[in-house]
Amino acid sequence: MSDYWNANWPTMLEDMQQHLTIVLSALGAALIIAVIVILLCLHHERWLSGLTYFFSLLYSIPSFAFFALLLPLSGLGMRTAIIVLTLYAEYVLLRSFITGIQGVDPQLVEVASGMGMTSRQTFWKVQFPLALPAIFSGLQVALASTMAMATIVATINAGGLGQLLFEGLQGQQVVPILWGTILTMVLTLGCAGILWLIERACTHRWRRVLKA
């Protein structure tokens, strides 16, 4: 294992960096789209559930097939990879955001508007903060699945840690496969940890009070 690392660490680090770039770009794009969609459709539940169902259908398409299908349109490489991963993450994010916001006690929303808040104020001051835990758990799920799925983008020449897996497959060697797996997990856990710290910074005050 360590021999392999010593011989190949520059490429492996490069693979990791590619992997991270792809995943973070996809998640960032998905997050921005999700926020826009939620804000636009906040009062059109029908659109929202229709849109979510549409994304759930996209989500059910096997990623390998999805990458392949986009090839004629956007070619080999990172761009296709990021587009597809964004679409997958979109469903996870939308679904968890919606459940989070709908999970807020309707009485609180009613009280808020009863106190004279506009619907925008109600959203930012009541619904959004209370939905934060659900939003973060959605981000965690999206992170893990995108990280795992991003290994497949090696098939369309988009780089990433999947290259190690395929290298091992072609050379019938277990070491690169193990390295690919371990590094993907390390990246996932590292990012999950950072996300968890951000979540704590955003919500720790009232949650600690809640627990007391």
Partner 1 sequence: MLAQIIQYFQLNSGQYWHYVGQHLGLTIAALAISMVIALPLGYLGSQIKFVASFCVAFAQVLRIIPSLALLFLLIPFIGTGFVPALIALVVLALPPLLINTILGFNEVSPLYQEVGTALGMDQQQLRRQIEIPLALPYILNGIKLALVEIIASATLATYIGAGGLGTLIFTGLGLYDMTYVVIGALSVAFLSLLAMLGFDFLIRKVRTYDRSNYSI
Q: Which residues bind partner 1 (CB under 8 A)?
A: 56-57, 60-66, 68-69, 71-72, 141, 144-145, 147-149, 151-152, 155-156, 162, 165, 168-169, 172, 174, 177-178, 180-181, 184-185, 188-189
30 vs 147, beta carbon nearer partner 1? 147
Q: Which pairs from 32-41 meet CB under 8 Å and 24+ separation?
A: 33/86, 33/90, 34/90, 34/93, 34/94, 34/97, 37/94, 38/94, 38/97, 38/98, 38/101
127 vs 188, beta carbon nearer partner 1? 188
126 vs 158, beta carbon nearer partner 1? 158
Shortest separation between residue 178's beta carbon and partner 1, angstroms? 7
74 vs 129, beta carbon nearer partner 1? 74
Look up residue 42 and give its DSSP letter.
T
Q: Which pairs from 35-38 meet CB under 8 Å and 24+ separation?
A: 37/94, 38/94, 38/97, 38/98, 38/101
Shortest separation between residue 146's beta carbon and partner 1, angstroms? 11
Shortest separation between residue 120's beta carbon and partner 1, angstroms? 30
What is the b/e burial string over 118-148, where b = at least 16 CB atoms within 10 angstroms of the residue's CB?
A: eeeebbeebbbebbeebbbebbbebbbbbbe
Shortest separation between residue 36's beta carbon and partner 1, angstroms? 26
Q: Among 162, 188, 200, which residue's Cα sits nearest to residue 27? A: 188
Shortest separation between residue 54's beta carbon and partner 1, angstroms? 12
19 vs 127, beta carbon nearer partner 1? 19
